[in-house]
Amino acid sequence: MVEKVYVTYNEVHKLCQASADRILNDFKPNLMIAIGGGGYVPARILRSFLKRPSAPNIPIQAIGLSLYEQLPSSSPSNPVETPGTKVTRTQWLDFSSLEMANLVGKNILIVDEVDDTRTTLEYAVRELQKDVETAAQKVGSNESTNFSIFVLHNKEKTKKGHLPQAMMDDGRYLAARTVSDVWICYPWEATDIDEHDKLAASQAKY
């Protein structure tokens, strides 16, 4: 049976708060790209902690990637999801309307909720790097664009996907917390938030 861990909005808020100083000081992002749907809420919370006096809010762009698939369960009200094998784009940046200067030469922070198999993160970094390289060629820029990653949770397991070695060597990857290979239930997935919070309160701290 899959072990489930219930995470509350309050815990997400505190994980973002605890990670903000390192992100601001080491990554220095001037643009965030949230991977939907799990990256939306952390990115928005994080932006509040990255805001500095007299400085503008860091813009947030969004992409949608799907990897998980639902499996049959003995309880129809309690379906189990498992990582799939193919990444599907459900939303991507519109380069016809997005100014190229918004990406080229910037420090871009990719935000997601969990690093499970790493397949989704690998896809996002690879494809975004391709798009930025194409954009840089079109505007004739030699500026370097740096990608970094923030996730709430990293699962301690063998990864199927791989991130650029330079990114890992430079420390441009940050997980607020590393956990065992459990199924993490985030509050934005809940259909009954009161029940979700009760389950979170009753469980042992992960």
194 is catalytic: no
Q: Which two tokens stand for residue 75?
A: 């309880």
Strand (E) or helix (H) holding 5: strand 4-6
> CB–CB of 135/100 below 8 Å?
yes
Q: Taking the mean position of all CA atoms in its chain, how far away is CA 59?
A: 15
186-205: string of b/e by CB count within 10 Å (b at 16+)?
bbeebeeeeebbebbeeeee
What does each C-alpha distance from 170 to 19, 166, 173 come to in angstroms? 17, 6, 8
Question: Among 116, 131, 181, 194, which one carries the catalytic annotation?
Answer: 116
Considering only CA atoms, give the Rg of the chain: 18
Q: Which two tokens stand for residue 106?
A: 């910037």
Catalogue the active-site residues: 116
